[in-house]
A and B are shown apart, each in its own frame.
Chain A
Amino acid sequence: DQQVKQNSPSLSVQEGRISILNCDYTNSMFDYFLWYKKYPAEGPTFLISISSIKDKNEDGRFTVFLNKSAKHLSLHIVPSQPGDSAVYFCAASEEGTYKYIFGTGTRLKVLA
């Protein structure tokens, strides 16, 4: 049973436009959510996170939105750049468990 789901395996966006990556979860005990970016042959790198007490967190071009009632979060990248082309994973954890569950990833391609 997949507790964290990324239903779009891939996404293509034109440079300069907005990229929106989505993530759904089923476990209502998750209280921390993170987004990671991964290039081929490298380890995942942290992008941005959000606590369940918030509904939005911004860091430069990256914004994460959390809708707890819908058990849904999204990552917005504005404006998208070719260097953003990578696989994006969302992850979630329960408070105090230090156990992170990841989604299956979305491959973003930003077209120049």
Chain B
Amino acid sequence: NAGVTQTPKFQVLKTGQSMTLQCAQDMNHEYMSWYRQDPGMGLRLIHYSVGAGITDQGEVPNGYNVSRSTTEDFPLRLLSAAPSQTSVYFCASRNRGGDTGELFFGEGSRLTVL
């Protein structure tokens, strides 16, 4: 009963390094998204996707790239990490229909950029 799986759970990077946060869901959800959580800022939407091959920007997209080649996976890429990207990142997914509009979240990935 995996749901939304994020890897890695913890990562430390140096300024300028690149990395990819992985997100996979096994619920056949069409919609997937990435959020970052910072103190006093809540959850802010970075990028989202409504299906394979379709992505769009959220509230804070700068410095991040995404792609959606399969329904299951939605990786988030940092091409040149900056200290301002130190945060906890959450991936979320939902299906297209449903009664509640519920988003299912992963457990988060804590990233520190030195």
Contact = CB atoms under 8 A, between A and B. Distances in A.
Interface of A: 6, 9, 32, 34, 36, 41-46, 49, 89, 91, 93, 98-105
Contact of B106 (A43, A102, A104): A43
Interface of B: 4, 31, 33, 35, 40-45, 48, 50, 56, 58-59, 90, 92, 94, 96, 100-108
Nearest to A103: B42
B contact face: mostly helix, strand, loop, or mixed: strand
Contacts of A93: 101
B108 A42 contact: yes
A105 B42 contact: yes
A101 B108 contact: no
Given A41-B108, A98-B50, A46 B100 contact: yes
A44 B59 contact: no
B78 to A, nearest CB: 20
A59 to B, nearest CB: 10
Nearest to A101: B45
A86 to B, nearest CB: 14
Closest 10 CB pairs of A and B: A43-B105, A104-B42, A102-B43, A46-B102, A98-B31, A32-B101, A49-B100, A43-B107, A44-B105, A102-B42
Given A36-B103, A43-B105, 9 more contacts: A32-B101, A44-B103, A89-B43, A98-B48, A98-B50, A102-B35, A102-B43, A103-B42, A105-B42
A7 B59 CA distance: 20
Nearest to A1: B59
B32 to A, nearest CB: 9
B108 to A, nearest CB: 6
B41 A101 contact: no
Nearest to B4: A43
A33 B4 CA distance: 22
A99 B60 CA distance: 13
Contact of B102 (A9, A49, A98): A49
